[in-house]
Amino acid sequence: MFSLFLLLALIGVIFLTRQLQQLLQNIPQRYWISLGGGVSLAYVFTAFLAEMTELQQHLMPLEVPVLGYLIEHIHLLMLLGIVTVYGLEGLAQSSQQEAWLHPRIFTVHISFFALYNVLLGYLLRHTVQEWLSCLLLTIALAIHLSIVCKDLFEHHPHLFDSRGRWLLIGSLFAGWLMGQRAILPEIALAASIAFVAGVLIFQVLKHELPETEGHFGAFLAGVVGFGGLLVAITWVRIWE
């Protein structure tokens, strides 16, 4: 039930995209985007990559040629996530200049993030055995999804409002429901974490850390505050 409550919080972030953007206009963008970037990076490098490395070590003796190579070099899947979302960003930019391309690019763009949300929903359910881990993941994902939805809304305002947000909500719920009913093989879980981490890193580098409007103090507060909390939780578990 706790993970369902956190799922509804993420659904609220998607559903209220327009209202959240209007609310955040009252807060200097350089502060909240940089703070969000710090929180996202802290989670990726402190929690996501640690779990991914642990899964990788557990799966190392795979003798399947392609899968074995990918697991041995699992960071290639992170790179794939970065390249994929960067390519979609370029397509979205080109669709603004060519009106006839816009609906087609929107379909590709929203379909990718719908599949991506299925992974996020599953990962949220995957951490349900530890409520604090689930809560921290939700905070990081809420910040990340607010940035993703902001981009989609800016590129495709009418299509996102009428159809896109509902598809993202449905796919997020579908991923969470899949986590309730089935358990992914560890190899698929490791691949999912790596791919999601790649997309998260791209979002931070491209959007959450603007070159000219970033605020290092806010970014540092996000990294130190959230990263320190994650490290402290890890040490408590070790001593227990």
The number of residues making up the chain comes to 240
pLDDT of 174 reads 94
pLDDT of 110 reads 87
Residue for token pair 């698929």: 188
Rounded CA-CA distance 28/185 in Å is 43
pLDDT of 219 reads 85
Q: Are 142 and 43 within 8 A, CB to CB? A: no
Q: Which amino acid is at 212?
A: T
Rounded CA-CA distance 24/30 in Å is 11
Q: Comparing 8-12, 80-84, 90-94, 162-166, which segment has the lowest mean pLDDT?
A: 90-94
pLDDT of 232 reads 85
pLDDT in tens, 144-202: 888 888 888 887 788 888 889 999 999 999 999 988 877 777 777 778 888 888 888 88
Q: Are 47 and 230 within 8 A, CB to CB? A: yes
Q: Are 76 and 70 within 8 A, CB to CB? A: yes
Rounded CA-CA distance 216/227 in Å is 16
DSSP codes joined into one string, 48-112: IHHHHHHHHHHHTT---HHHHHHHHTTHHHHHHHHHHHHHHHHHHHHHHH-GGGHHHHHHHHHHH
pLDDT of 56 reads 72
- Entry pTM: 0.83
pLDDT of 118 reads 93
Higher pLDDT pick, 68 / 73: 73
pLDDT in tens, 93-144: 665 555 545 677 788 888 999 999 999 998 887 765 567 777 888 888 888 8
Please compute the mean of the pLDDT values over residues 80-97 and round it to a whole number.
77
Q: Which residues contact 38 (CB under 8 A, 6 or more apart)?
A: 218, 219, 220, 221, 222, 223, 224, 225, 226
Please compute the mean of the pLDDT values over residues 38-67 and round it to a whole number.
75
pLDDT of 59 reads 64
pLDDT of 1 reads 65
Write the burial class of residue 124 (CB in 10 Å: 0-12 exposed, 13-18 middle, 19+ buried).
Answer: buried
Number of H-type helices and E-type strands within the chain: 12, 0
Q: Comparing 9-18, 42-51, 56-65, which segment has the lowest mean pLDDT?
A: 56-65
pLDDT of 212 reads 53
pLDDT of 98 reads 57
